[in-house]
Amino acid sequence: MPVKNRFAELLPEITAWRRDLHEHPEILFETHRTSAVVAEKLKAFGCDEIVTGIGRTGVVGVIKGKSNTSGKVIGLRADMDALPIHEQTGLAYKSKIDGAMHACGHDGHTAMLLGAAKYLSETRNFDGTVVVIFQPAEEGGGGGREMCEDGMMDRWGVQEVYGMHNWPGLPLGSFAIRPGAFFAATDQFDITIEGKGGHAAKPHETVDSTLVAAHVVTALQSIVSRNADPVDQIVVSVTAIESSSKAFNVIAQRVQLKGTVRTMSTAMRDLAEKRLKAIAEGTAATFGAKADVTYYRGYPVMVNHEEQTEFAAEVAKSVSGACDDAPLVMGGEDFAFMLEERPGAYILVGNGDTAAVHHPEYNFNDDAIPAGCSWWAEIVEQRMPAA
């Protein structure tokens, strides 16, 4: 079964929704307008239940099928938040909010799930219940975790959950997925090197925190090259270095390092945290300095469940004719929290030859809408066929 004709008919309407959301981006949990728009449309579609304020600003809609002999409940999730980036697309519908833009396509995800909700509310050609989940704060805020902590899965009896992300570089409207670990755990660290400041012309009277920091940056790469099994995936990146002095003739008292660690397993995550602290503290001590290390655990590894992944791939094939094997992604995705609570799968839908996500010239490709909507609708109709 190819892309549903109904979504081709709805494309102009869904595109208009998407572009309106694009003009009004909201960051993290501040998705007040977006959440209100979503709730208003779900009400207009005739959803059986609409609840706002889940996970602070999340929205949940419930759509019941023509029958419910199966007792099945499937969750479909889209993220709503934008990024703190100044848009540089020059589009007629570009962001109206300075310093905020939909640079990851969450406007597209939200619009596609709204399109699927409209169709499912019209047809109800399934045996069971659909829970459509609109989540805030995917971009670092952990909105998925907060919705789960608000009891969303138990409250609506969600048994399986499915998510989707557009993917620049993947052919338009095609799909890709993989079972098991898919997106990486995303951790952060702060390291403060405390030395002994002084005059740059008298380095022998100081403990040069900048020199120590340079050695720490280099030594941290040994986690990847010498501590991790070469077949495991791990990234350790120092992304910021800031000295307590901005003068050319002062050796700084302290230097702060910031960075991120990306891993694909709990064991590697534990190893990275342990070694990062030991290396930073030991290297600093070698030079007579002190390192204070703070390690923040962010999103866990996002793990697709095997049976649901196989099903999601078959649905994708029924929509587009094929489903490719997706690569491992060292970026993070807080759909991981939902997949820790319930079995499910996360799939990529092709955005075509566009700028990469998180780029100021990125834009969601509206021509991907029919494929994305059809996949969500088919997940429901094939998993819970009408009695």
Q: Which residues are annotated as a binding site?
A: 104, 106, 139, 165, 358
Distance CA 244, CA 327 (A): 41
Selection from 340, 345, 343 nearest residue 149 by Cα: 340
Q: What's the Cα-to-Cα distance from 61 to each of 6, 31, 68, 106, 319, rounded to whole Å?
A: 21, 17, 17, 18, 24
Q: What b/e string do you get for 35-44 counting C-beta neighbours within 10 Å, with b at 16 or more?
A: bebbbebbee
Q: Count of residues for the chain? A: 387
User: Is residue 105 left, alpha or beta, with left meaning phi > 0 and alpha meaning psi from -120 to 50?
Assistant: left
For residue 334, the SS3 value is: coil
CA angle at residue 60 from 59 to 63, to 5 degrees?
145
The answer to whether 113 and 165 have CB atoms below 8 angstroms apart is no
Residue type, 253: Q
Annotation: binding site for Mn(2+): 104, 106, 139, 165, 358
Q: What is the DSSP letter of 368?
A: G
| Nearest in space to 269 (alpha carbons), one of 346, 357, 336, 327 | 336
